[in-house]
Structure 1
Amino acid sequence: MPQICRKHYRQTPHERRQALTDATLNLLAKGGPEAATLRLIAQKTAATQGLVRHYFSTKDDLVATAYEQHMARMPAVTPAVLEQSFHSHLARLTAFVTAALTPPVNEPRGVGLWASFLYMIQSIPRMQAVHAKTYRTFRDRLEGLIVAALQARDLPHETPLSRRFATACNGVIDGLWPDGSALPDGFNKDELPEIGLQSVGVMIDLNLYKTGI
């Protein structure tokens, strides 16, 4: 009986690095920083610890790379909503706030990673830099939407004021997001986005609640 020759697929370096960072994110989301050991990361990817160190010199290097990838994916979800057509700047701002407080941004795995990373950011400078950059990107995008909405209504929108508005509104979103992600069944449908819209609207003196999109 002729033997069947099976070809084994060999991952490219890029695919191997991606598999390692994905495994790191999964372990962090499920068990926190203590669960993401090099031994378990290697086990989850059918690699050796030596191979892990070949691609990432230290565990901090691996975690920081995983954090960069995760944070690059998260902000990309909300801006995608803005590619739609809107009848007003107010409607565009409403859609942005709503997207930030609903799935896929608002989901349990994300808050698990957030809790893990929040602890580790304090000790890994590279993660601090990524966190600062991501925060500024989101806040600046939010500020631009707020300025456009205020300007359309002939309301004050100067830079010092608009930056304060954006910082405060971002604080509202950041405050609601963890609870909504950790307790997906703890709130009525659309409850969190409605609270977010009402709160942001009060801060900037615009009615975002139930704005047509």
Structure 2
Amino acid sequence: MTPARRKFTREEPETRRAGLIAAALDLLAEAGPTVTTVRAIAEAAGLSPGMIRHHFTSKEDLLDAAYRAHMARQTEGAERGLGPGSARGRLRRFVSASLTPPVVDPRAVSLWAAFLHMVRRDPAMRATHEETYLAYRDRLQALVAAALAEAGCAAAEAELRRLAIACNAVIDGLWLEGGVLPEAFVAGEIESIGLASVGGLLGLDLLEDTP
């Protein structure tokens, strides 16, 4: 009896592509860009080096996809638990999630450091960096605008942009310190400093936990 031919599905190429991205991220986080070669990525993913060319136009294309996937995961982590509720409460939860695990994580900082070097020399990755940065900042700006309007302190678009940039800078700095040296801070310290600092910039109390 002839064995039934295996049916290939559309998910299989997507699964292999995702596996290559995951392998690239693991190598970058653990060993850095120099060790993250085409051969090493393929071996870690359990595929032949030629499969990378099948799913990506180049190693740079794969690393750009990996960077995009990593940044999307970070933003999704910041948006976890937003849910319904007051505008102030939603902003508070967004800032809090941005400054707690799994967003604040030593591995995430290692990946950021690895990608930062590539962003400076690869135009495609620089474009991805700009796109993902603006996506997060625009999300933050929308939450800031809603919270200020709810408090009766609506601001013009230019001022909202300035505030979003400032708040994002505070979050980025604390995220970096918390990820690089987590043992230097007591539990909840990074989060509470971030909430107080962002709240101070906006003239809102974000430390009080309300819906």
One-letter code aligned to 1:163: R
Q: Which residue of structure 2 lines up, in the alignment, with residue 57 of structure 1?
A: 57
Tell me the CA shift for residue 14 of structure 1: 1.8
What is aligned with 2:178? 180
Q: Given the alignment of the two structures, is residue 13 of structure 1 paired with residue 13 of structure 2, yes or no?
A: yes
Counterpart mapping for 1:88-103 below 5 A: 88-103=86-101
Superimposed CA distance per residue, residues 83-132 of structure 1 (whole angstroms, 9 cap, x where no aligned partner): 2x32x322221111101000111111111111111111112222111111
Query: 2:39·2:49 contact (CA, 8 Å) conserved in 1?
Result: yes
Identity of aligned residues (%): 43
Q: Tell me, in whole angstroms, the C-alpha distance in 2 between the residues paired with 1:143 and 1:132.
A: 16
Give, as a single letter, the amino acid of the residue that structure 2 aligns with 1:105. Answer: V
**Relative to 1, partners in 2 of residues 1:43 and 1:9: Cα closer, same or farther, differing over 3 Å?**
farther
Alpha-carbon distance in 1 for matches of 2:205, 2:80: 23
* 1:128 alignment partner in structure 2: 126
In 1, Cα distance between the equivalents of 2:16 and 2:148?
A: 48
- Please name the residue that 2:199 is paired with: 201
Equivalents in 1 of 2:100, 2:28: separation in Å? 22
Q: 1:59-98, aligned counterparts within 5 Å?
A: 59-83=59-83, 85-86=84-85, 88-98=86-96
Q: Residue in 1 aligned with 2:28? A: 28
Inter-CA distance 9–110: structure 2 relative to 1 (3 Å threshold) = farther
Q: Distance in 2 between matches of 1:23 and 1:9?
A: 26
Which amino acid is 1:132 matched to?
A: E
Q: If the length of structure 2 is used for normalisation, what is the TM-score?
A: 0.90
Structure 2 letter corresponding to 1:52: I
Change (3 A) 1:187 1:48: same
Q: Would the alpha carbon gap of residues 46 and 149 (structure 1) be closer, same or farther in structure 2, given more than 3 Å must change?
A: closer
Q: Does 1:150 align with 2:145?
A: no
Aligned partner letter, 1:114: W
RMSD: 2.1
Distance 1:64 1:149 in 2: 34
With structure 1 as the length reference, what TM-score do the two structures score? 0.89
Partner of 2:42: 42
Aligned-pair distance for 1:152? 1.7
Q: Take 1:152 and 1:211, find their aligned partners in 2: how far apart are those partners?
A: 16
Q: Give the Cα separation in 2 of the matches to 1:95 and 1:119.
A: 31
Query: Which one of 96, 120, 138 corresponds to residue 140 of structure 1?
Result: 138
- Partner Cα distance (1:201, 1:184) in 2: 23
SS for the counterpart of 2:52 is helix
Aligned residue identity for 1:201: G
Alpha carbons of 1:183 and 1:9: their partners in 2 closer, same or farther (altered >3 Å)?
farther
User: How far apart, in 2, do the equivalents of 1:65 and 1:147 lie?
Assistant: 31
| Structure 1 unmatched runs, 5+ | none
TM-superposed CA distance for 1:58, in Å, is 1.7
Cα separation, 2, equivalents of 1:114 and 1:9: 39
